[in-house]
């Protein structure tokens, strides 16, 4: 005996608010909607990916050095385009905003450089040393861990975009999509039959 699967819709509650919660903390929007399994999956996978990447890019030069904001084109730290993807992971990436607003040049390196922008120095800068937290020194100390951490945290942000859309619009209803597809095909066949009838009538005349 087949199960009755007709119209088992998921109540999305306030979809816009759920989408905001899904951005603010991966899985939170789905928890608000009562979709606990998906909430757990998104929280573990997306947050785990982001946190692991951030920890990977940590060391004596600071914590989570791959997540930061820099808006200084040219020599130095440059513009950090990766952050536009990382920020979609929500609250875990927001300390970078606070660090940038309080110290855009990275001269203070507060909180042991936690998501702080690199110091805007070059080898030609006054007082430059290999102990400065410039982007060159950070890359040198972390080596490949900086690039891998950047990739993982960026992927986490991009993956959360899908989670946000899922919270906003809900899961794809395969049965409903199939009904719509069949309806379109039937309408197309009707139009084709109508055209053929018109052609036959014109030929008889």
Secondary structure of 165-189 in HEC code, one letter for each residue: HHHHHCCCCHHHHHHHHHHHHHHHH
Structural domain range at position 108: 15-171
* Total number of domains in the chain: 2
Query: Is 1 inside any structural domain?
Result: no
Do residue 134 and residue 146 come from a single domain?
yes
Do residue 156 and residue 201 come from a single domain?
no
% of the chain with per-residue pLDDT over 90: 49
% of the chain with per-residue pLDDT over 70: 80
Task: Report pTM.
Answer: 0.75
194 vs 159: CA distance, rounded Å: 47
Do residue 100 and residue 156 come from a single domain?
yes
Do residue 51 and residue 27 come from a single domain?
yes
Do residue 163 and residue 108 come from a single domain?
yes
Burial label for 160, CB within 10 Å (0-12, 13-18, 19+), is buried
Q: Provide the phi-psi class of 167: left if phi over 0, else alpha when psi is between -120 and 50, else beta.
A: alpha
For the stretch 145-182, pLDDT in tens is 999 999 999 999 999 999 999 999 887 665 666 677 78
Query: Is 7 inside any structural domain?
Result: no
Query: Is 120 inside any structural domain?
Result: yes
């Amino acid at each position: 005996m087949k199960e009755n699967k007709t119209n088992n819709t998921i109540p999305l509650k306030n979809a816009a608010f759920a989408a905001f919660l899904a951005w603010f903390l991966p899985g939170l929007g789905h928890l608000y909607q009562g979709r606990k399994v998906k909430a757990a999956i998104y929280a573990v996978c997306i947050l785990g990916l982001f946190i692991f990447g951030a920890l990977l890019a940590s060391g004596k030069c600071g914590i989570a050095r791959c997540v930061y904001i820099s808006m200084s084109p040219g020599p130095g730290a440059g513009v950090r385009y990766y952050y536009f993807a990382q920020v979609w992971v929500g609250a875990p990436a927001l300390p970078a905003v606070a660090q940038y607003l309080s110290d855009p040049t990275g001269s203070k390196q507060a909180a042991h450089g936690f998501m702080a922008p690199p110091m805007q120095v070059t080898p030609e800068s006054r007082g430059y040393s290999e102990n400065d937290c410039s982007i060159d020194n950070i890359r040198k100390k972390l080596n490949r861990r900086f690039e891998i951490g950047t990739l993982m945290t960026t992927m986490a942000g991009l993956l959360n975009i899908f989670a946000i859309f899922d919270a906003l619009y809900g899961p794809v209803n395969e049965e409903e999509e199939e009904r719509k597809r069949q309806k379109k095909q039937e309408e197309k066949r009707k139009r084709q039959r109508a055209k053929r009838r018109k052609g036959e009538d014109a030929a008889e005349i």
